[in-house]
Amino acid sequence: MTPPTVSNIGKTGSGAAANAEAVCGEWYESHGAAVYNYFRFHVADTDAAEDLTADTFLHVVRAIDRFDPNKGSPKTWILTVARNVLMDWRRRARLRQYVPIGTLHDLAVEAPSPEERLLREEEVARLMNGIAALAPADRELIGLRYGSELDTAEMAAVLGIREGAVRSRLWRAMSRLREELTS
C-alpha cells in the first residue's frame, strides 16, 4: 500500500479519501497542539479552544486538495486555516469576550506544593490579563509566536506580510505587553 502523501490526495476514488484522512491525521498529531495553543491565546474557555481546534481540522480535511506544498509548510497552512476559523467564530459571537481567569486551569502546571501552585496560577493570571488588555493584532502576533511556536518566516506566511514587518510588530507588541505587566 502506498504511504499517505499530499501528492496523491487529488486522485479520485475511495483510496483518495482514505489517504486525505491519513495525511490529516498525521498533521493533527504533528500540529494539533500548536493549533490548540494558538486558540488558547485568543479564547479563555478550554472547551471553546478544543472546539475551534476540531473545527480547524475539519476544514483542513475538507480543503486538503487546496494545500500547495510549494507555497508553504503544512503547519503554516493549517494555522492560516485556524486564523480564519477564529475570525469566523468571532464574527458569529461578537458578544463573547473573556471568561474569568479562574477557568484557565490548563495553563497552570502541577507544582509540588499548594503554595507554589498558587503562585504559578497568579503568574499565569497576570500574564493572561496582560494579554487580554492588548489589541487583537498584538494578541494575534503573540499567540502565533509563543502559543503556536512559529518562527517569523512562518508567521509572515500566515499573516501575509513581510518577515521584517512581523519582527517589528512583534517587538512592539511585546513592549506593550511589558508595559501592561509593569503598570
Shared domain check, 126 and 56: no
**What are 151-173's pLDDT values in tens digits?**
999 999 999 999 999 999 999 99
**What are 17-42's pLDDT values in tens digits?**
667 778 888 999 999 999 999 998 88
Rounded Cα distance between 92 and 80, Å, is 19
Shared domain check, 134 and 76: no
**How many domains are there within the chain?**
2
Query: Is residue 48 situated within a structural domain?
Result: yes
More confident position, 75 or 8: 75
| Cβ atoms within 10 Å of 156's Cβ, excluding its own | 19
Residue 103 has pLDDT above 90, yes or no: no
Query: Is residue 91 situated within a structural domain?
Result: yes
pLDDT of residue 3: 38
pLDDT of residue 8: 46
Shared domain check, 5 and 91: yes
What is the residue whose three cell numbers read 494545500? Answer: 67
Confidence grade of residue 100 (pLDDT, cut at 50, 70, 90): low
Return the closest-CA partner of residue 120 out of 104, 112, 109: 109
Instruction: Tell me which of 75, 99, 123 is where a domain ends.
Output: 99
Residue 147 has pLDDT above 50, yes or no: yes
Return the closest-CA partner of residue 36 out of 143, 163, 172: 143
Rounded Cα distance between 17 and 9, Å, is 7
